[in-house]
Structure 1
């Protein structure tokens, strides 16, 4: 009896391109050709949710990886050159960032090395909470509010940051593109000099080396598969410093996102109705026959209570008493919302940003520790100055809002009374009282805001700029139409007269003619320079340790899915070794190869190569009298440190038969492996290789009946495997290391027929797979399920199409 049993089988509507088991839970993530990301549970392969935003339809996911804690999925969208982090619990996009090249592979690793310095840092990492107030959550009433900052998910930011322990997301792509992102968010290294297109990556958990399998296009023959080991010693030697720097910059990146979202909410709070006054006044000027200035006509109405027929028509027919009242309420509501967002969100976010940047500046001044990582104190000081300028501009906006609210209240109160008199309506006594001071206030407002500007008409299509707040929220490079009047400001006069004070680096530049958006972009650019420098310096420190050409690709494998295709990489944390698993079908079709190399490039450990003979690997378990059959390996994945899960196919047989799922025990074979003298000027398939060793499988195998199996994904911690057919649409799920049940004892929910017609019935109906299927109430992804228990899913709900 096989030592593992089938617990699920399904025919999928779209070909699967990637499948990766969660490192912590019985969940498997799938990406298909329709651009969908799906999450399935082991129990009967039930779907938990699917993520397919409308603007992502038809754009294939090109790589997929789990964060080591199993809480976040990272995937890349090739056409858009975008990497997205998704919450595995609720299928919500938490973060995204652009990359320069399409990503072809990714690997997410936890850093396991401990030290007393790291332990003290882990314990003190939350000190910022003692000095900084908690960031106010953004109101959920705005459509573009980020999910991680909404009122309902105020704690999601810690889910995004993850544990304090450093974890690194490694991305690889074409043209030697390799980048490392701390916590999946902050780029700490941009590597150069990696030849070809990356097909597999593996960063050692001690950060001493990065193994890469690349496909290099040769001129005289087909593409070559090459193994390259890169020395990342700087990351390992400076692990405490890298962890502290990465954590700080991740906080800074998150705060920038918070400020962007706050500003977006402010733009939504500002209503276009505030522009109606400007447009109506412009139309009034264009239509009236007299040459009198608009402000003169309003002043005449203010002082003498008389108005021209044109002004009366404008007020009573176009604006109307009801419209004026609505406009006044709209302006007051809009200004109040913007004011609250500036005070509670922009200012608190800017203060937190200044705090973290100041700490980074202190790190940069500790040159013995942080200078090798590329921290530039000058660039950080420029960033701090830019944040200060942004804070000044936010305060300037507050003053403009405060002044505008007072002006508009007084103006609308007077105009409302004047229009009631025009219509001969009753004027409430409380509104009828207007002092000389009130008249002077309204007269000053009319003189300042109601003057025509021909240049403004050319730029904006209007003569007026009565409303002054909106210009601060425009994402344009042009100067403010009506900058604030600083005449009589004693501090500015004093600063302009003092040469030394004016040039002092301690003072923040104010940019009086620029909008809030413009200053925000300047701040982001200055901070970006701080973030880029370490990535460049660390990337240059990474050097190539060894380059081993393995074999030439055949033309038949050119269109095969890249994730599943051999070779694959494995990082053995116990022994500190990198494994490369590969086959050479043309040179030796019945052999499987394991190349071992130390994760520490500085150690003079010889390269070892193990060849496994698959000729009679199953015959010793079937019948010794049967003629030995030759098996070729289609796919292989490490199940644990000493076991390799493989999909085998008997050579020479029909395409639909002879497919086997097996567990190869490597302990005995690895003890007998020989040192291999490698001529690095030749490919491995061009030189003699060590003799192949045989293995005895006993009961660690199973024939995959009625399935043209091709690929496999495994998780040794959860003891599960998933086999995918060659057409990429038929999957079977297995629990490993358990005895198979008798047919009569098998639950009906798992009695899945292999008949093609019956399998076709399992296809989802049209539209299935384009929304989120949440878990049943009270059940989380952490809930353990027996293999035979079907997951009850609640009614399908849609995912917002503007998630991306």
Structure 2
């Protein structure tokens, strides 16, 4: 059989040890993200399918990846996990989580889009400088600026039971959408924010066939209030990021507070349990301080547990830990809290502009409560600073007294008085602590603020004699003033932090509820039923597939329906503005014989079923086709289908008026059909049982995956293959002279820093197979 000249350049091929369940091209770089059955997320580059990094599953994130999506700038990869119901946002440069959040249901599809709608108000806002950078100290943690993105973008999540949520900048939830039935199999928010198209799989009962249904939801509120939504989203993203920053700061503080600080408590508790005398520990230390006499048990403690060397080491460790915590509170916790207070105050000002923001659900009273909660947290952080300062002075004096006594020096009366006060306040035995904490003493007062427990502080600060507290107690009106932040002397820093997070989350939730309720169903079209005998391949690789045309504001839905043993492509086209019906329509596409047949074969004996299809760009569809003749060794074909060859007669698309009561597959005979005979832009995929394809029209690349989910081939789509036909040698020389890569194993794009790594820096291909893609 004669072949046409193969199109597209094959630049890589690989057999993988694990089945690939999801793949997605980066929109800006020659990188493709994969998720496999083992729960790994991997990043590969085009050249010879070289691996950049691998993120293995773990207990903290999850082990079953259910969806992948790239941020429009290609710097962040998002993936959903079924077992933990979490969304992870990962840095493209290295396999680490930048941000994560929980969702109520398992995610089955996600789409990350960028708003392209331009307006004079929005443009001026984008160009305006954020005044918070001028007024607030710069926080030294990278996450504070990593999610700042020039243009508004939204991560749309779809899950089971009609679950749909929209997150601005991938962080702040701006809408919880209702009114959709079934499990999401595809979704696409239009770039003008006017509508959201969703495809769901609805199964009425366990023994019935599932039905694919298309919904178009009206999201015109987001479009109408685009500048306001953008401002609110940016402000809420700042707030969400700062909450993460405060959480990280507290984690660092807990790490700085080591168990070394508990050694004094544990040693005193052990001393009480072993001593035979009836006198209290406080009395024994006071006798030693005032009269220089110590019991045999106390002498043993000082000789064995609190030696000169041990005292010096313990004192240095405690001072170092306290200093680290103090620096974290001042430079991180307080700065982050003040920035949070600033952004919430600005948000309150926005909420008071009811003409602009009331329709979006901003509530000034809820924001007031959030501001009050942040103020209480700042007060508790200041209280911790005072406790640290006092503890450092007390421990220094106490250890100095013991150290001086051991080496025989004499202390001043002032020092003796200070140590006596410390012993009186801290060395009282508290038998009730033994039941609650497993110890008798709580000499170390800082750790109780950092423990993530609901119990009250064991040793709360003493407010007796405090003139400000007495003044507030006597002043009823001042005590109830909204200008004063409430103070919780009995609670830990973690408790106040959790209370603050809960109030802020409740405050941020209302806009998502209000915007979500404004979204309503505009169109519902029942597409077709899924046969129960269909093989159990990964659902998210199957058609239908949604595409958003940014230039003409159209939604395209690609799906296949079996007709006479031939799977045709059906293209459903809807305008993003639900009030407009122009350009709406549906078209069926079948592929006739376009391979050069032998003489004994009739020209119409070959037809092709579509296995997978994706939009390559706004004007082209990439398809994987299979010969439909009943014979062994059916060939698979990768082809490009121009839309211009289909939509030649606009009137023909409007002749079909479907019955909204019946499914489309019951009306398939009436759908206008175009038969396509491709002349070029196709190639036979030899020795490969191709099933799925993932494409990127911006980078002009594609990845074909076999039906066993382990065999991949990579292609450049805008050049012809070289080295297979002798007539191409001259063209090859021209390409090399022009600076184009002529070897399929070389990187295509050397401009991206993540793709610039040399081959020596990447894992060996043989080693990669042997280690099952372990990093």
Q: What does residue 699 of structure 1 align with? A: 680
Within a 5 Å distance, the mapping from 1:46-195 to structure 2 comes to 46-55=50-59, 59-135=63-139, 137=140, 149=141, 154=142, 157-158=144-145, 160-195=146-181
After superposition, the Cα gap between the structure-2 partners of 1:606 and 1:112, relative to the gap in structure 1 and judged at 3 Å, is closer
Structure 2 CA distance for aligned equivalents of residues 20 and 77 of structure 1: 16
Within a 5 Å distance, the mapping from 1:513-524 to structure 2 comes to 513-524=490-501
CA contact (8 A) 1:40 1:47 kept: yes
Within a 5 Å distance, the mapping from 1:533-612 to structure 2 comes to 533-557=510-534, 559-585=536-562, 589-605=566-582, 607-612=584-589
Structure 1 CA distance for aligned equivalents of residues 203 and 404 of structure 2: 81
How many angstroms does 1:350 deviate by? 0.6
What secondary structure sits across from 1:14 in the alignment? coil
Structure 1 CA distance for aligned equivalents of residues 721 and 583 of structure 2: 42
How many angstroms does 1:47 deviate by? 1.7
- 1:674 matched to 2:645: no
Structure 1 CA distance for aligned equivalents of residues 555 and 398 of structure 2: 76
List per-residue Cα deviations over 1:638-683 (Å, max 9, x = no partner): 1122211111111134464321111112213213242121111111
Q: What does residue 265 of structure 1 align with? A: 252
Q: What does residue 408 of structure 1 align with? A: 395
After superposition, the Cα gap between the structure-2 partners of 1:453 and 1:589, relative to the gap in structure 1 and judged at 3 Å, is same
Q: Which moved more, 1:375-384 or 1:25-34?
A: 25-34
What secondary structure sits across from 1:95 in the alignment? strand
Structure 2 CA distance for aligned equivalents of residues 177 and 414 of structure 1: 65
CA contact (8 A) 1:44 1:749 kept: no
What secondary structure sits across from 1:113 in the alignment? coil
Structure 1 CA distance for aligned equivalents of residues 671 and 763 of structure 2: 58
Structure 2 CA distance for aligned equivalents of residues 173 and 189 of structure 1: 14
What secondary structure sits across from 2:227 in the alignment? helix
After superposition, the Cα gap between the structure-2 partners of 1:783 and 1:462, relative to the gap in structure 1 and judged at 3 Å, is closer
After superposition, the Cα gap between the structure-2 partners of 1:235 and 1:271, relative to the gap in structure 1 and judged at 3 Å, is same
CA contact (8 A) 1:657 1:705 kept: no
What secondary structure sits across from 1:481 in the alignment? coil
Q: Which moved more, 1:215-224 or 1:722-731?
A: 215-224
- 1:793 matched to 2:761: yes
Within a 5 Å distance, the mapping from 1:360-399 to structure 2 comes to 360-399=347-386
- 1:237 matched to 2:224: yes
Q: What does residue 255 of structure 1 align with? A: 242
After superposition, the Cα gap between the structure-2 partners of 1:274 and 1:369, relative to the gap in structure 1 and judged at 3 Å, is same
Q: What does residue 772 of structure 2 align with? A: none
Q: Which moved more, 1:731-740 or 1:510-519?
A: 731-740
Structure 1 CA distance for aligned equivalents of residues 680 and 599 of structure 2: 10
After superposition, the Cα gap between the structure-2 partners of 1:18 and 1:506, relative to the gap in structure 1 and judged at 3 Å, is same
TM-score, with length taken from structure 1: 0.89
Within a 5 Å distance, the mapping from 1:474-489 to structure 2 comes to 474-489=451-466
CA contact (8 A) 1:258 1:349 kept: yes
1:641 counterpart (608, 618, 621):
618
List per-residue Cα deviations over 1:43-70 (Å, max 9, x = no partner): 2222222221444798221100111111
Structure 2 CA distance for aligned equivalents of residues 443 and 37 of structure 1: 61
Over the aligned positions, Cα root-mean-square deviation in angstroms equals: 2.5
Within a 5 Å distance, the mapping from 1:297-308 to structure 2 comes to 297-308=284-295
Q: What does residue 607 of structure 2 align with? A: 630
What secondary structure sits across from 2:317 in the alignment? helix
What secondary structure sits across from 1:25 in the alignment? coil
After superposition, the Cα gap between the structure-2 partners of 1:276 and 1:780, relative to the gap in structure 1 and judged at 3 Å, is farther
CA contact (8 A) 2:34 2:42 kept: yes
Q: What does residue 735 of structure 2 align with? A: none
Q: What does residue 213 of structure 1 align with? A: 199
CA contact (8 A) 2:282 2:428 kept: yes
TM-score, with length taken from structure 2: 0.92
| Structure 2: runs of 5+ lacking an equivalent | 733-740, 769-775
Structure 2 CA distance for aligned equivalents of residues 574 and 548 of structure 1: 25
Structure 2 CA distance for aligned equivalents of residues 622 and 705 of structure 1: 22
How many angstroms does 1:587 deviate by? 6.1
How many angstroms does 1:781 deviate by? 3.2
Structure 1 CA distance for aligned equivalents of residues 606 and 614 of structure 2: 23
After superposition, the Cα gap between the structure-2 partners of 1:257 and 1:790, relative to the gap in structure 1 and judged at 3 Å, is closer
CA contact (8 A) 1:621 1:698 kept: no
Q: Which moved more, 1:300-309 or 1:599-608?
A: 599-608
What secondary structure sits across from 2:13 in the alignment? strand
What secondary structure sits across from 1:126 in the alignment? coil
Q: What does residue 144 of structure 1 align with? A: none
Structure 2 CA distance for aligned equivalents of residues 453 and 623 of structure 1: 101
| Structure 1: runs of 5+ lacking an equivalent | 138-148, 421-425, 753-774, 799-804
What secondary structure sits across from 1:23 in the alignment? coil
Structure 1 CA distance for aligned equivalents of residues 60 and 679 of structure 2: 47
The total of aligned residue pairs comes to 743
What secondary structure sits across from 2:693 in the alignment? strand
Q: What does residue 44 of structure 2 align with? A: 40
What secondary structure sits across from 1:559 in the alignment? coil
Structure 1 CA distance for aligned equivalents of residues 516 and 366 of structure 2: 19
Structure 1 CA distance for aligned equivalents of residues 29 and 413 of structure 2: 75
CA contact (8 A) 2:157 2:166 kept: yes
